[in-house]
Structure 1
Amino acid sequence: MRPTGRLHIGHYHGALTNWVRLQQDKECFFFVADWHALTTAYDDVSVIGSSVWDMVIDWLAAGVDPEKSTIFLQSRLPQHAELHVLLSMITPLGWLERVPTYKDQQEKLSGKDLATYGFLGYPLLQSADILLYQANHVPVGEDQVPHIELTREVARRFNHIFGREPDFEEKARAAAKKLGGKRDKQFFDLRTRYQQDGDKAALEQGRALVSDSASLSNADRERLLGYIDGSSKRILTEPGALLTEASRVVGLDGQKMSKSYGNTIMMREEPEALTRKIKTMPTDTQRVRRTDPGEPERCPVWQFHQVYSTPETREWVQAGCRSAGIGCLECKQPVIDAMLAEQAPMHERALQYVANPKRVREVVEHGNERARVVAEQTMQDVRAAMGLAYS
C-alpha cells in the first residue's frame, strides 16, 4: 500500500481482512510502497514519513501478525530499484503506455504533473516489487489485473532472453535423474504429453512432481520447471492474480469512501466520534417526518447494515423503515453497536505501538531484514543471468 496515513474502514474490509486471512496458511509479504507515493506526490513529500507509521499501526491493529507475515519498507531495500532498472532494459515502451491506469490516472489527476518517467514506469516498479519475492499470487482487485498481466509478460520475456544457460538441456537431463526411482521417466513422459499434445494437465503434474522433490537444488528445480514448459531456466516466477472481493463499505454520504470526500470512518475512530458520525449521517431524503414511511434502498445507512448487521436485523430495518415503525436514529443504533464492537480489538492491538512508537519501528526493521534475504537471493540469480556477477 502507498502510505496515505491512517486507514479507514473501506481499507479494512477491502484489503486488510483478506491479508489477515491469507497469512494463516501462506507466506506473505506486505510492504509500504513509499517510492510509489512519489510517482504522483513528488512535489509534497512532507506527509510520507508520518503516514508510514500510522498506516503500519493500522495493519497491526487489523491483525496482520509480524510473526506470520513479513512487513517492510520498500525504500529500505535497494534491490527493488536495482531490479526495476534491470527490467527496464528489456521492457518495450509500448507495454507501459498501454497499461489502462496510465491514461486513466492522467485524466483523473489532471491537476498534477504526471509527464514523468516515474509515473510512466511505476507499473514496472510494481512488477519488480512482485518478482523480487518470486510471488506465486498477488491479492488485487479487478482493476489491478492488467498490472499482474504486465508482470507475467515481463517475467516471461526476461526468462526467454536470459534463461539460456550454456548446456541447458544436458543440465536439465542430469537434474531429472536426481528425481530418483521412476520419477525421472514419469517427468519425461509428462513433458512429452505437454509439448507434443498440449496436455495442460500433464504440465501441472510435471510441475508438481518437480516442486515436491526434496532431492533437487534450487537451480536444478528451476531448470526442470523451464525444461518441461519449453522455455529455459526459469529465473523469475510468473505470478497469478488472487482476486480480492471489492469493499462494500460506502462513505457517510453514500459515495465511495475517501479522505478527499471527507466521508470516512477511520479504522480506529474514537467511539464518541464514530457514534456522532453515524447519528448525523444523511438518510432517505424523502422521509421528512418520523411518521413518513421510508425506503432503505435510498438510504446510505442501509449500505452499512448490509456489511454490519445480521439477516434478522436487516429484516427488522426493512419492515420498520417502510412502515415507519422505527425512526432513523433507532435504525442507526445496531450499526453503531456493531462498528464499535469491530473496532474495540483494533484499539487494543494498536495501543502498545501508539504508546511506544519504537516498537512499530522494530517490527518494520525486522521485516526489512527478512525481506532483504529473499530479495538478495533473487538478485544474485538476476545479476548472474545478465552477466553482472563478474568480479
Structure 2
Amino acid sequence: MKKPIILTGDRTTGPLHLGHYAGSLRNRLRFQKDHEQFLLLADMQALTDNAHDPGKVRRNVIEVALDYLAVGIDPECTTICLQSHLPALAELSMLYLNFVSVARLERNPTIKDEIKARGFGRDIPAGFLCYPAAQAADITAFKATMVPVGEDQAPLIEQTNEIVRRINATAGKSILAEARAVIPKSGRLPGVDGKAKMSKSGGNAISLSASPDQIRAAVKAMYTDPGHLRVNDPGTVEGNVVFTYLDAFDEDQTELDRLKDHYRCGGLGDGTLKSRLEEILQELIAPIRERRQLLAQDLDHVLSVIQEGTERARERTEATKKEVTQGLGLFRL
C-alpha cells in the first residue's frame, strides 16, 4: 500500500527546544518509518518577520538541520529540504493568492493571534499576512494528507483545504487532496516562566542542546503553585508548570498519578517534583546534545543531507505545479 504523505517543518530562526520536541519532533520520529515524510527547513517563512536580519535566517538553516538529525530523524526515511530552493512553492503561492481574499486572510485566527502577539497593528508585512496561502502551497506541492501542527495552527490547515476545494472546483476535477491536521496529545508546552508558550525569542525555553547546568537552572526556576507555600499545604496540579512538563515527558503514568494525588492532598514539596523532572530531562537531552556535538564536527555531511533532500523535493513539487497549472488550463509554451 502507498504510504501516507506527511509534510511538517520549522522556521529557521534559532535552534529547536523542548516545545518542538513535545509538539512535533516525537511524532516525526514515530511517523518516519511508516509514512512518506517531508521535513521543510522553512527559511522563506522565517523571513516574513525577520526580513531585517536575513543572516539570522541563513545561519539557522544548519542549526535546525543539526537538531533534526540529533533527535534521530533519518534522512533515509525522511526528506529534509530547504524551502527557498524549491521554486514551485513560490509559484504555487502566487497562484493560490488569487483564490483567497485579503479579508479571509485577516480573519484566520492563527494569523490574527500572531499579528497581535508581534504588535504589528496595521503595519503587517505582506508576506506574513499571506502566509496561509504559502503554507497551502507547501502542503499541496508535496501532496501531503497529514500535517502535524499545534492546536493553534489548525485554522491554517482549514484554510489550505478551502483553497484546495476552490482549485478543484475551478479545474472541474480533483487535482489536489485535502489535508488533516495531526495535533499532539500533550499540547503546547508553556515557557519555564509559565507566562507564555515556550519560544526561541522569549528567553523561556530549554533548548535541545542545553547543558546539564542550563537544564538544572531552568527546572529550578519553574513556577509551580504560588499558594503552595509549605510542604504540607494542599497544592494545585492544573496550571502547574512542573506537572505540565511531567505530563509531557514522564513515562511512568502510575507514579505520576500518585504524585498528583499526593500534591493535591499536601505533604509533597516542589523540590521533590523538580528533582524528578530534572532527572527525566537530563536523561532525555544528554544523548541529543552529544549526537549534535558530533554532527557539528562534520557540517559537510549535514549540508549534503539538505542538498540531496532538496533535490528529491524539487522533483515532487515541480510535478505537482505542472499538474495544477495544466488542470487549470493555463497557457503552456
* TM-score (normalizing by structure 1): 0.73
C-alpha separation in 2, matches of 1:98 and 1:318: 43
Equivalence for 1:358: 300
Q: What secondary structure, in the 3-state scheme, does the structure 1 residue paired with 2:49 have?
A: helix
AA paired with 1:305? L
Mapped contact 1:296–1:318 kept (Cα < 8 A): no
Q: Map 1:122-133 to 2 at 5 A.
A: 122-133=131-142
Higher mean displacement: 75-84 or 54-63: 54-63
Q: Give the one of 153, 170, 176 matched to 1:236.
A: 176
Bigger helix share: 1
User: 1:70 matched to which residue of 2?
Assistant: 79
Equivalents in 2 of 1:241, 1:320: separation in Å? Answer: 35
Q: Is the 8 A contact 2:193 2:221 kept in 1?
A: no
Matched residue, 1:250: 190
Which runs of structure 2 are paired with 1:33-52 in the superposition (5 Å)?
A: 33-52=42-61
The change in CA–CA distance for 1:249 and 1:314 in structure 2 (over 3 A counts) is farther
Contact 1:284 1:296 in 2 (8 A): yes
SS at match of 1:373: helix
Question: CA-to-partner distance for each residue in 1:16-49, whole Å, 9 max, x for gaps?
Answer: 1111112121111110111111222222323111
Q: What SS class does the counterpart of residue 254 from structure 1 fall into?
A: coil
TM-score, normalising length: structure 2: 0.85
Deviation at 1:385, TM superposition (A): 3.2
Residues 285 and 136 of structure 1, relative CA distance in 2, 3 Å threshold: closer
Measure how far apart 1:155 and its partner are.
Answer: 1.9
Question: What are structure 1's unaligned runs of at least 5 residues?
Answer: 164-230
Distance 1:235 1:102 in 2: 27
8 Å Cα contact 1:40/1:112 also seen in 2: no
Q: Secondary structure at the match of 1:238?
A: coil
Alignment partners' CA distance in 2, 1:258 and 1:355: 27
- CA shift, 1:9, in A, is 0.6
Confirm whether residue 267 of structure 1 aligns to residue 208 of structure 2.
Answer: yes
Identity of aligned residues (%): 36
Task: Quote the Cα distance in structure 1 between the aligned partners of 2:74 and 2:330.
Answer: 37
Cα 1:367–1:283, aligned 2, differ >3 Å: closer, same or farther? same
Q: Secondary structure at the match of 2:296?
A: helix
Asked if the contact 1:7/1:267 (under 8 Å) is kept, the reply is yes
- Mark the CA change 1:246 to 1:112 in structure 2 (over 3 Å): closer, same or farther: farther
Q: Which residue in 1 is equivalent to 2:243?
A: 302
Could you tell me how far apart the structure 2 residues matched to 1:29 and 1:380 are?
A: 20
Q: Tell me, in whole angstroms, the C-alpha distance in 2 between the residues paired with 1:69 and 1:146.
A: 26
Tell me what 2:279 maps to: 337
Which of the numbers 153, 160, 165 marks the counterpart of 1:151? 160
Query: C-alpha distance in 2, partners of 1:304/1:246?
Result: 9
Aligned position for 1:80: 89
Q: Look up the equivalent residue of 1:332 and give its one-letter code.
A: K
Q: CA deviation at 1:343?
A: 1.4
CA distance in 2, matches of 1:352, 1:46: 24
- Other-structure match for 1:312: 255
Partner of 2:169: 160
SS at match of 1:241: strand
Deviations 1:308-351 (CA, angstroms, capped at 9, x unpaired): 33222552575378554x65433322211111111123123323
Contact in 2 for aligned 1:305/1:314 (Cα 8 Å): no
What do the CA deviations read for 1:126-151 (whole angstroms, capped 9, x no partner)? 11111111112222233222222222
Deviation (angstroms), 1:111: 4.6
Q: Decide which of 15, 18, 21 is 1:6's aligned counterpart.
A: 15
3-state SS of paired residue (1:267): coil
- Give 5+ residue unaligned stretches, structure 2: 1-9
Q: Are 1:349 and 2:291 counterparts?
A: yes
> Relative to structure 1, is the Cα distance of residues 149 and 330 closer, same or farther in structure 2, using a 3 angstrom cutoff?
closer
What's 2:98 paired with? 89
Task: Using the TM superposition, give the Cα deviation of residue 117 of structure 1 relative to its aligned residue in structure 2, in angstroms.
Answer: 2.8
Task: Tell me the equivalent position of 1:379.
Answer: 321
Quote how far apart the aligned CAs of 1:102 are: 3.3
The letter for the 1-side match of 2:244 is Q
Q: Which moved more, 1:245-254 or 1:47-56?
A: 245-254
- Once the two structures are superposed, residues 184-228 of structure 1 have per-residue CA deviations (whole angstroms, 9 ceiling, x without a partner) of xxxxxxxxxxxxxxxxxxxxxxxxxxxxxxxxxxxxxxxxxxxxx
How many Å separate the matches in 1 of 2:82 and 2:285? 26
Letter in 1 for 2:150: G
> Is contact 1:296-1:302 (8 Å) kept?
no
State the distance in 1 between where 2:83 and 2:129 align. 19
SS state of the match for residue 32, structure 1? strand
Larger Rg: 1
Deviations 1:34-74 (A, max 9, x none): 11112222223231112221112112222221110111110
Q: Distance in 1 between matches of 2:229 and 2:274?
A: 16
Aligned residue pair count: 320
